[in-house]
């Protein structure tokens, strides 16, 4: 990879719109598509989504857990998604939310961010809640290989606020601290750095109330929750404000519900991309 992830993502968002489609083979969706809830069904589901979207969207985001639940055949299907994205030039964000310490975190970095690994897409989601410093192996591996990270920061689940909104003795919230650490890693990068944040599209005014300056991060902001989960134009504008051009909106169910027909999936993805572009650009 000759260019940093942040640069490649910015170009893809400008060309195709700021949309990422999740590849989430939930059992209910597999059933709705007439597919078996096993490795073969997951593979067919995932590759059909790739056929509909590759070369047409900024990124796709396979949810690793929904592949892993089928063991080696599911992981093999995830590897095929990564390979298909590489072949088509579509960025692949592996949504694995890894977070650990020391040699274990180094192992995750090796699996998901090393050149030559079949699971190494273009970026990886990670959890900083063992301390931002615990991410160092993945930071080094990502930046050293031209890949990116999306660090959990302000998530939409109700339980997240108890940790993410908490403040230290200086009055700085956990979310603000995470954003500040990402900003340091992205300092001076143009058009944006490669260490982004995960910020839910339906968190309302949480960025403001936690003192989290999203625009200052100078990195991509992955925004799950667009579409079926309630994140629309008004929510995106309210959550991200001046940081809107950094946002990569993520939609899963609203697009995947159009399947299994490839043409219908392609049309749904294009409509979603146009809608988020109108809201964010």
Q: Which residues neighbour 104 within 8 Å (Cβ) at sequence distance 6 or greater? A: none
Instruction: Evaluate the CA torsion angle 6, 9, 14, 17 in order and state its sign.
Output: negative
CA dihedral 95, 99, 103, 108 (to 10 degrees): 0
Beta carbons of 57 and 19 less than 8 angstroms apart: yes
Q: Which of 33, 55, 57 is nearest to 43 (CA)?
A: 33
97 is catalytic: yes
CA distance 60 to 226: 14
CA distance 232 to 225: 9
Find the catalytic residue in 56, 69, 73, 97.
Answer: 97
> Which two structure tokens, joined as six digits, stand for 227?
């579409």
CA distance 142 to 109: 8
CA distance 89 to 181: 30
The number of angstroms, rounded, from the C-alpha of 94 to the middle of its chain's C-alpha atoms is 7
Q: Indicate which residues carry an active-site annotation.
A: 97
């Amino acid at each position: 990879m000759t260019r940093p992830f942040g640069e490649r993502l910015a170009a893809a968002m400008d060309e195709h719109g700021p949309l990422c489609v999740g590849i989430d083979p939930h059992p209910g969706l597999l059933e709705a598509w007439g597919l078996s809830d096993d490795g073969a069904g997951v593979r067919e589901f995932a590759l059909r989504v790739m056929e509909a979207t590759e070369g047409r969207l900024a990124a796709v985001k396979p949810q690793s857990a929904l592949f892993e639940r089928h063991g080696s055949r599911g992981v093999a299907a995830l590897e095929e998604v990564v390979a298909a994205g590489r072949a088509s030039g579509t960025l692949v964000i592996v949504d694995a939310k890894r977070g650990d310490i020391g040699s274990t975190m180094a192992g995750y970095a090796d699996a998901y961010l090393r050149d030559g690994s079949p699971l190494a897409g273009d970026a990886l989601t990670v959890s900083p809640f063992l301390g931002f410093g615990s991410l160092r192996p993945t930071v080094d591996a990502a930046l050293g290989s031209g890949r990116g990270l999306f660090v959990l920061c302000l998530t939409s689940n109700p339980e997240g606020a108890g940790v993410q909104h908490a403040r230290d003795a200086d009055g700085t919230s956990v979310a603000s601290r995470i954003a500040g650490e990402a900003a340091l890693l992205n300092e001076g990068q143009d058009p944006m750095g490669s260490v982004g944040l995960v910020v839910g599209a339906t968190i309302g005014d949480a960025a403001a109330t936690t003192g989290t300056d999203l625009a200052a991060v100078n990195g991509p902001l992955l925004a799950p929750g667009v579409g079926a989960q309630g994140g629309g134009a008004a929510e995106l504008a309210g959550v991200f404000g001046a940081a809107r051009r950094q946002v990569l909106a993520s939609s899963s169910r609203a697009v995947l519900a159009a399947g299994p027909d490839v043409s219908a999936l392609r049309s749904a993805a294009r409509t979603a991309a146009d809608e988020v572009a109108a809201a964010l650009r």
